[in-house]
Amino acid sequence: MIGLGTMGAGIAEVFARAGIGVVAMDVDATALSRGIGTLDASLSRAVTRGRLTAAEQAQIRGRIRPAAGFSEAAAVDLAVEVVPERMEIKREIFAELDRVCSPDAILATNTSSISVTAIAAASKHPGRVIGMHFFNPAPVMRLVEVVSTVLTTDGVVATVSDLARHIGKTPVHVGDRAGFIANALLLPYLNHALYLMASGYGSREDIDLAATAGIGLPMGPLALLDLIGLDTALSIMEVLHGEFGLPRYNPTPLLRRLSDAGLTGRKAGRGIYDYAGAGKDDHQSGNEDASAAAPKTVTLIGAGDDVEAELASAIATAGINVTRNAAHPSDLVLIAAEAGRPVLPASLAAGRPQQSVGLKVIGKLAEGTLAEVVQTSLSSPGAIAAGTGLAAKLGLVPIHAPDRPGFLVGQLLYAHLADAVRMCQDGYSNPTEIDTAMKLGCGYPRGPFELIDAAGAATVLTGLEAMYEAYGYPEFAPPPLLAEHAAAAIPFSAGPRPGR
């Protein structure tokens, strides 16, 4: 293991836990002992939590041998490079490995932002150079992207994939393209979330809640940026932008500024959130008015569909009077909001736009999920507070969203799903592998294609069309493959169609 930073220490732990001996190296003795300290802390935490016995800890630790220099790597079967993402450092390391390792040893890189092909080409034996891309935290996340280049020998892919399985990971084989599967999908979504925060579209907490309580992801995008490191995220975005050139991959200026300022996230004690105190300075919700009194009487305006009926019944069950009469002097006019349909026209038609907000329930109302309180340009602070109080009274988690296509959840999700469809349309991967990568690499409970199938391709298409029409950004342009699935009503789980 060359490089014992957070990822290197985690990967070394994974190998040692699987019974494999590890020779651990870093740039100097201080870096090495810091890395071993990280590893020891992780193993001790596992013992404290009752996941390992002290004897097992000692055995695992006994398999890890700190090494002073490359000469100690002479007998290894596999070298894994996990050093900073600078080509000149990697070139030096692969030259040393070429010199000391036996010719049939495999040389792997955990790089996420330098082309594996460029690293391989710098080696004397490029056929044995491969990417083994782990995910943070390495002991927990089960994905390993096995990245082959045009130079990689066939047997090497099979050996490394078997090894990944042996250490308890699931390998997904990909070609050498910027971001591989997971980063190419994850990072633009995180970058877009930061843009939404920087532009004031949504608050930090609401954006993270939209992802966790709304989409069911294990972490919000802003908290995840802090975990990955804003400097790392920036370099991945730069590589994606260099490779694909689209505006979607342009790093949000705030990402660069925070990174330049050294506010790189958890590892620096501060990034988008502040970690200097006892814990992350977050709240469950950024809505100070979540405790605002719920209205006593609500005028409900909907499309006369099930969504409206369900909302009416929930409001009545909560002990709030519901009327459909727009002229009634109720405390709040509530527009049952729907994807792809703005709230403002309905609130104008009701004649009391100041007292109106939209409410978009994500998921099943009865399950206490997320509710977007949609404010138009005319909604008064009182109406917004009343809408928020109402959502809380219904047992929902309220967040605020402007009356723009996609509201907040759709803004985050639809472009992300479109990226996944485009990756498939490009022939780089397929729905099964993309879903596996996002579930095992990023902890998604459902992969992008499972999310599309659950919502219906037509719903995602409508959302994207509305966003594309309003903004004109290419990232919102619905991919033809999505339109085909929507038109033919074929779920992605049905597999590839004849002729593909």
145 counts as catalytic: yes
The one catalytic residue in 110, 115, 133, 235 is 133
**Closer residue to ligand 3HC (CB): 115 or 375:** 115
**Closer residue to ligand 3HC (CB): 12 or 384:** 12
Write down the least CB distance from residue 150 to ligand 3HC, Å: 22
Distance CA 150, CA 318 (A): 63
Residue 244 CB-density burial (10 A; 0-12 exposed, 13-18 middle, 19+ buried): middle
Distance CA 161, CA 158 (A): 5
Distance CA 172, CA 436 (A): 8
The one catalytic residue in 110, 113, 161, 183 is 183
The one catalytic residue in 145, 433, 450, 475 is 145
Sign of the alpha-carbon dihedral angle for 234, 431, 408, 472: positive
Closest residue (Cβ) to ligand 3HC?
Answer: 443
287 counts as catalytic: no
Distance CA 124, CA 101 (A): 12
173 counts as catalytic: no
**Closer residue to ligand 3HC (CB): 179 or 353:** 179
Which runs of E-coded beta strand occur in 149-206? 170-175
**Closer residue to ligand 3HC (CB): 232 or 375:** 232
Q: According to DSSP H, which parts of 394-500 are helical?
A: 409-425, 431-442, 448-455, 457-471, 480-488
Which residues contact ligand 3HC by CB under 6 A? 42, 49, 51, 112, 135-137, 139-141, 183, 186, 218-219, 224, 228, 232, 441-443
CA angle (289 as vertex; 285, 290 as ends), nearest 5: 50
Q: What letter represents residue 482's amino acid?
A: L
Residue 279 phi/psi, 5° resolution? -160, -175
Write down the least CB distance from residue 303 to ligand 3HC, Å: 37
**Closer residue to ligand 3HC (CB): 112 or 356:** 112
Phi-psi region of 323 (alpha: psi -120 to 50; beta: other; left: phi over 0): beta
Positions marked active-site? 112, 133, 145, 183
